[in-house]
Structure 1
Amino acid sequence: MNDRQNFGDDWVNRRNSGVKWDTSSVILPSCQWNQSEQLAFATRMDGFKLYVTNTSAIPPDGYLCYEDPDPGLPNTTQTIPCNQLGKYVIYYDNKGSYEGTHFYGPIIELCYVAINGCGKSFWGSNCENDCAENCIERNCFPENGSCVWGCNSQNCLNDICNKYTAVCTFGCKERRTGSFCNKYNMASDGLVSQNPNGSLLAGLAIDGRETTCSSTRGTSVTFQVDLKKESIVTGLIILSGGM
């Protein structure tokens, strides 16, 4: 009896085998599989599949990242890209293999497993950075922080935002402010004035567009926003342009 048979018929003759890892909601740029015994074990990997799922069900019920193609045997050391959000990574084999004249059920023998990625809403080499608030569902790629499913342009002027930075490209719609236009702009409801009146109207500074500017000059100049009622001011955003 060989070493594999010492594990019992239940181990060598099962028709469905799966190994699961709880990944705590990660996006996976790549998975690395390293078999210590190289070509000799290729037949045991033949037909294997990799899934990213949100359940631990077997057979897996989720996203199929990779399926070993026919014909031929797989490499026993592989780096497999897979960009997908999920909680479990599952190596699954229900094919089985022949070794000589003997048929064995599915066998899983893994010597090294590495899973690259970050928890949801984080990115960076140590997953230390927050994804931008304006990324849809705050999901971003672990390598560079760019939005996975694009950015939320609901409050952006012309409904356009940068999918890499999530910043609104042309500014904010009325009553919105901030890089992601996710804050209320009290200036939009205020009464604005400048002294002297100037060559360009004061109201151009609060229209939400970063490409239109008010303009005035003199020996003593002021720009004023009357908020109409006493308010709590938590911050100011000022963008200056040329005259």
Structure 2
Amino acid sequence: MDGFKLYVTNTSTIPPAGYLCYEDPDPGLPNITQTIPCNQLGKYVIYYDDKGDQNNGPIVELCYVVINGCSKTRWGSNCVEFCAAKCIEQNCFPANGSCVWGCNPENCRNDNCDKDTAVCTVGCKEKRTGIYCNQYNIASDGLVWQDPIGIKQANRANDGIKTTCSKTKGPSITFHVDLKEKSIVTGMYIILGGMSL
């Protein structure tokens, strides 16, 4: 048992070709109860021991094996939190939910997303919305106008860029979005700018 190694790998090849979580420091027999932390994504956990005498090789007696962790789409102390949908292959670390291989920037403006949270950092590509830009924005195809017309045009509010704003001033103000056809509206997300003119 002395000199054993524990790997987390994606293949079952021997000797293991994967992440080495632990290597017994040798010499002498290790404690019979081992608690070994390892934060790595993989399909196989391999106990590997090639030490021992030259005639017989190693002698191992395993009595109880527990592997703590979460399935690849979940995280948290009880594995009840879901990994961000935009984490590549929806894989995240159980301890903090950050993406293992980064995020999928498919619908993110300038292909920028935060590798830990998968949130699109600059905004969404045209016609997309949501923090992961995985929802369709039906306002992007709509016709917009405001009354009174104002000093900044109404279409700046539905251009998909969070930092461009329409601007108007008057005793009463209306802002219209014509969706062009009857649509099912499931919610609205509005960012208001500064109030000075």
Q: Do residues 199 (structure 1) and 151 (structure 2) align?
A: yes
Change in Cα spacing, 1:198 to 1:165, as seen in structure 2 (3 Å) is same
**Displacement after TM superposition at 1:115 (Å):** 2.6
Residue 81 (structure 1) aligns with: 38
**Displacement after TM superposition at 1:80 (Å):** 4.6
Change in Cα spacing, 1:71 to 1:60, as seen in structure 2 (3 Å) is closer
Output the TM-score relative to the length of structure 1. 0.70
- Could you say which structure has the higher helix fraction? 1
Q: Do residues 166 (structure 1) and 121 (structure 2) align?
A: no
Matches within 5 A, 1:1-243: 44-46=1-3, 48-53=4-9, 59=14, 63-66=18-21, 68=23, 72=27, 75-76=30-31, 77=34, 79-86=36-43, 88-97=44-53, 103-110=55-62, 113-243=65-195
What secondary structure, in the 3-state scheme, does the structure 2 residue paired with 1:137 have? Answer: helix
Percentage identity across paired residues of the two chains: 57
Instruction: For CA contacts below 8 A with separation 6 or more, give which structure has more relative contact order.
Output: 1
CA RMSD of aligned residues (A): 2.5
CA distance in 1, matches of 2:81, 2:138: 30
CA-to-aligned-CA distance 1:169-208 (integer Å, 9 cap, x gap): 1211111111100111111111111111122211111121
Aligned residue-pair number: 193
Could you tell me whether the CA contact under 8 Å between 1:45 and 1:108 is conserved in 2?
Answer: no
Unaligned runs of 5+ in 1: 1-43
- Could you say which structure has the higher strand fraction? 1
Change in Cα spacing, 1:59 to 1:189, as seen in structure 2 (3 Å) is same
Change in Cα spacing, 1:124 to 1:69, as seen in structure 2 (3 Å) is closer
Change in Cα spacing, 1:73 to 1:212, as seen in structure 2 (3 Å) is farther
CA distance in 2, matches of 1:120, 1:227: 39
Could you tell me whether the CA contact under 8 Å between 1:53 and 1:62 is conserved in 2?
Answer: yes
Could you tell me whether the CA contact under 8 Å between 2:2 and 2:27 is conserved in 1?
Answer: no
Could you tell me whether the CA contact under 8 Å between 1:68 and 1:74 is conserved in 2?
Answer: no
Could you tell me whether the CA contact under 8 Å between 1:151 and 1:166 is conserved in 2?
Answer: yes
Change in Cα spacing, 1:109 to 1:82, as seen in structure 2 (3 Å) is farther
**Larger radius of gyration between Structure 1 and Structure 2:** 1
Amino acid in structure 1 at the alignment position of 2:2: M
**Displacement after TM superposition at 1:222 (Å):** 1.0
